[in-house]
Amino acid sequence: MVLLLFFPMTKALLMEFIGTFFLMLVVAISGNAIAAALMLTLMIYIGVHVSGGQYNPAVTFALFVAGKLAHERMIPYIIVQFLAGIAAMGVFAFMGGKNFMVRPAENALFLQAVIAEILFTFTLVLTVFMTMIDKKSQGNSYFGLAVGLNVVLGAFAVGGLSGGVFNPVVGIAPQLFRIFTGNTVVLEAVALYAVAPVIGGLMAAVAYKMLVHQEVEHHEKKEDTKNKHHHASDLDVEALISSAS
């Protein structure tokens, strides 16, 4: 019944589940930023023409706010991403993993962790916009590496302070899984990773509009005055997916 409900985008949802699942699993098993970034990079290349290769609710919501993701996709994508994260934690526990969760440093102030997560989610999501959505970068082969590099740099820079999550699934899914295992949920971590990455993503959407969209509007007006045919200077997720055909 669930598949029938989302039938027009079943393949995209399955891809988002697979990509988010393996990202979360690698994070839990390795606890290593480089391993997580490599898996994210791999899954972006695998899934970009199927679902857009997002695997991150902060990315999904920012694309929606910027008008680059249809609202029909936004909510199902986010639901599937969280389900994948919880499923990955279940597999991690079945494989013998115990007590994995991401949380800020004990001596970190909550506001410090919030700012850290906002800033480096901002760079992550802005990279998605500028390398995967902006038409000027269309056809490049480095977009996955650029996004993965953001994860590594962010984790090295502020991982010791905020946990270096930049993805609500990675921060919240382990906490949700703790409910099923009867463990205590760290509400501070849930609040941090539910709010800060989303704010960072929204800031990136606004920055993208300021950096690119205004330039596009100016270009289109100029072209209109010359009565020339013109194309939009950026893509959306539907265009990324359809470019596979």
The CATH number given to whatever domain includes residue 170 is: 1.20.1080.10
The count of structural domains within the chain is 1
Residues of the domain holding 144 = 2-242
Helix (H, G, I), strand (E, B) or coil at 39: helix
- Sign of torsion over alpha carbons 134, 136, 140, 145: negative
Which region among 19-28, 175-184, 217-226 has the lowest average model confidence (pLDDT)?
A: 217-226
Alpha-carbon distance values, 31 to 37, 86, 93 (Å): 11, 16, 14
Alpha-carbon distance values, 207 to 34, 108, 116, 186, 188 (Å): 27, 28, 18, 32, 28
pLDDT of residue 145: 97
pLDDT of residue 131: 96
How far is 221 from 29, CA to CA, in rounded Å? 52
pLDDT single digits (tens) 23-77: 999 999 999 999 999 999 999 999 999 999 999 999 999 999 999 999 899 999 9
